[in-house]
Amino acid sequence: MQFNRYIWDLYRASPEGQAAIKRDITAHWNSLDNTCDIRQEMGFTFEVFGFENIESGESDVLRVNLNDLLHEFTQDSIINDSKEADELFIEMVDEGWEIPVTVGEESPWLVLIGGGLEHDTVYRQIFATITGLSAGLHSAHPNYFIPYFFIKRFDHLTKICHFFGITLPDEPTKQQKRERALYYLEINRVFQAFRFEQGLSPEEFNAFLYDFAPRNITLAVPNTLPEASRVWFSLGNSIDFEYLDAANEKSISFWQGNLEARRGDIVLMWCSSPRSYLHSIWRVVDDGFNDPFFYYYNSIRVGHPLKIPPITFKTFAQDPLLGASPAVKAHFQGRSGSALSLEEYRAICELIQQTGFDTTLLPTTPSELAFGDLMLNNERDVETQLLEPLLLKLGFTTTDWVRQLPVRMGRGQRNYPDYVLGCDLKPGEESAISVLECKFRISSPKELKDAFLQAKSYALRLQAQSLTLADARGIWVFQQRSDGFVFDAFTFKVWKELTHPDILHEISLIFGKKVIDDAMQSRLRNMKTPSKPKG
């Protein structure tokens, strides 16, 4: 829906709305639910590396309140328009600021913020501490900077924007460190435009974003969970041990994960060296999502922890099945966020049972069937029993898609995309709005990447605006962005989810019948519109 001025005016006149508008940003931060994860930032105070004592030259790590620091340092900067505001932020990110800070009676310390052109590793510092940095800039210049309090909550931000008809810019990819540091500016521009369009003051916009919007959208984690669709492996290091040990049934934590993780999935939490043992079993409480301000980028939210007797690495290595797995042979290096097979999970459950633990408390093994009681034996079964019924639910008829369309990809080379929607069959100039490629099972990240590259080549050749991969477990949907099709930017749904009307509607907005027909009409109009003469 779009922003409703009548409902907003009622809120603004209410006691709750007036109280929210009067809040300062610290009060807005404190009003958010920051209690579920004890590792969440404490206000705007952060440990920032790169300190140097001006007198002694010694380096150290100190805790500073970035809100106060940036407010004081930038409040005298003259900003006349949004362009100068952008330039101020870019200066911090690329060139860096040296800010003197007095700690007690010691000689001042020099705080180094940003400076990515000299040391590109500090770009991480910017996007990891954007909460405090944006708060300080907002405190000093509220008309030009919004406070960004969605770190570890980027999925909540996208829900808010979708609900109120606000279009977020495409998020940078994981490897684009500078772009991730500057992505705050992209969001800031969008929100400032929305604020001016709706005639909101900075204080009213803060109330809208951090009080009004959450009141209208369900962001809370549901207590009940669906059946697990997969088992995932997560790794905690020494800085996480205290949190993991203290976790209880109400604990919810943000963790490195996988975009394919679904609510209800099982997560095995491994403690790295010096512990080197399986610590607990958690459940995914929100679907996986990307967060450009999170170092590891791919994110999940987990809860419902179940403590188990420690299962050591030696025990894993001695198990006939588990000991032969590449993950165990690699001592789980780089495996956080990876999937485990059902056979591996069953083997782990047997190891837990051998400790005397009551295994009836363990999460139920995911069903081997992807959808209902279907018998899927090959790729064609996925097409006829899963994908084609989905297309029919999305409003298509069997005459609306073309299967195995011959497409010339190079000299003498002809390829056959499994399905195309919105197709123009003009020989040599074939085009389509959407491409769908089927596999029987996509069992590894490498297989997913290979399938993506294959489908991407078809989609680019046919000038498609979306591509979809399907297997026995679910679908991966990629949309054309300003930078093309990006591998780590997709929507994943398991088949059981696609029986829900809300999820089906979400997919219909990407490649449903109406979307495809509208896109075809738009292309036809563009083809008929004569180009303007030059000069």
- In this predicted model, what pLDDT tens digit does every residue of 478-515 receive, in sequence order? 999 988 999 989 999 989 888 888 788 889 989 999 99
Q: What residues have CB less than 8 Å from 197, skipping those under 6 apart?
A: none
445, 416: one domain: yes
Return the bridge partners of 338, or none.
233
Q: What ranges in 337-444 are assigned the alpha helix state H?
A: 342-354, 379-382, 388-393
The answer to whether 297 and 291 have CB atoms below 8 angstroms apart is yes
- Between 262 and 109, where is the model more confident? 262
- Taking alpha carbons only, the member of 191, 67, 188 closest to residue 135 is 67
The domain that holds 273 is classified in CATH as 3.10.590.10
- Between 188 and 26, where is the model more confident? 188
391, 286: one domain: no
Is 497 inside a domain boundary?
yes
- For residue 302, the model assigns a pLDDT of 93
- For residue 80, the model assigns a pLDDT of 94
Mean pLDDT of 120-143: 91
The answer to whether 113 and 97 have CB atoms below 8 angstroms apart is yes
Helix (H, G, I), strand (E, B) or coil at 313: helix
Is 327 inside a domain boundary?
yes
Q: Tens digit of pLDDT for each residue in 6-49?
A: 999 999 999 999 999 999 998 898 887 654 454 454 557 776 65
Rounded to whole angstroms, the Cα distance separating 140 from 67 reads 9
The angle, 0 to 180 degrees and rounded to 10, between the axes of the packed helices 177-198 and 82-90 is 160
Instruction: Report the sign of the C-alpha dihedral through residues 296, 297, 298, 303, in that order.
Output: positive
At 370, the pLDDT band (50, 70, 90 cuts) reads: very low
- Taking alpha carbons only, the member of 112, 114, 136 closest to residue 60 is 112
Domain boundary among 156, 189, 216: 216
- For residue 533, the model assigns a pLDDT of 53
Domain that holds residue 320: 231-361
Helix (H) or strand (E) holding 476: strand 474-479
Type of residue found at 514: K
Is 180 inside a domain boundary?
yes
Mean pLDDT of 423-450: 89
Spacing of C-alpha 35 from chain mean position:
21
Q: Tens digit of pLDDT for each residue in 372-415?
A: 567 888 999 999 999 999 999 999 999 999 998 888 766 656 77
Q: Tens digit of pLDDT for each residue in 309-356?
A: 999 999 999 999 999 888 898 888 888 888 888 889 999 999 999 999
The answer to whether 401 and 517 have CB atoms below 8 angstroms apart is no
Strands 401-403 and 419-421: antiparallel
398 CB neighbour count, 10 Å cutoff: 9
Upstream peptide bond of 366 is cis (omega within 30 degrees of 0):
no
315, 184: one domain: no
31, 151: one domain: yes
Give backbone dihedrals phi and psi of 193, rounded to 5 degrees, phi first. -65, -40
- Taking alpha carbons only, the member of 209, 330, 304, 318 closest to residue 252 is 304
Is 513 inside a domain boundary?
yes
Is 369 inside a domain boundary?
no
For residue 59, pLDDT over 70 is answered with: no
Q: What residues have CB less than 8 Å from 325, skipping those under 6 apart?
A: 344
Rounded to whole angstroms, the Cα distance separating 96 from 90 reads 9
Rounded to whole angstroms, the Cα distance separating 126 from 112 reads 11
Q: What's the structural domain count of the chain? A: 3
Strand ranges inside 343-433, DSSP E: 401-403, 407-410, 413-415, 419-421
143, 292: one domain: no
Spacing of C-alpha 282 from chain mean position:
19
Is 240 inside a domain boundary?
yes
Give, as one character, the DSSP assignment of residue 323.
G
Is 374 inside a domain boundary?
no
Rounded to whole angstroms, the Cα distance separating 235 from 280 reads 11
For residue 535, pLDDT over 60 is answered with: no
Sort 26 into a burial class: Cβ within 10 Å, 0-12 / 13-18 / 19+.
Answer: middle
Instruction: Enter the tokens of residue 389.
Output: 């019924």
Domain boundary among 216, 249, 265: 216
Q: Tens digit of pLDDT for each residue in 264-314?
A: 999 999 999 999 999 999 999 989 999 999 888 889 999 999 999 999 999
208, 241: one domain: no
207, 239: one domain: no
* Rg of the chain on CA atoms, in Å: 26
Q: How far is CA 530 from CA 331, 463, 527, in A?
A: 63, 20, 8
23, 77: one domain: yes
262, 386: one domain: no
The answer to whether 367 and 287 have CB atoms below 8 angstroms apart is no
The answer to whether 61 and 47 have CB atoms below 8 angstroms apart is yes
Is 484 inside a domain boundary?
yes
- For residue 502, the model assigns a pLDDT of 79
At 466, the pLDDT band (50, 70, 90 cuts) reads: very high
Average pLDDT, the chain: 87
Instruction: Enter the tokens of residue 185.
Output: 């500016």
The domain that holds 393 is classified in CATH as 3.90.1570
Mean pLDDT of 41-66: 64
Type of residue found at 248: N
Determine what percent of the chain is predicted with pLDDT higher than 90. 54
155, 78: one domain: yes
281, 349: one domain: yes
What's the length of the chain?
535
41, 184: one domain: yes
Domain boundary among 216, 251, 266: 216
Give backbone dihedrals phi and psi of 467, rounded to 5 degrees, phi first. -140, 145
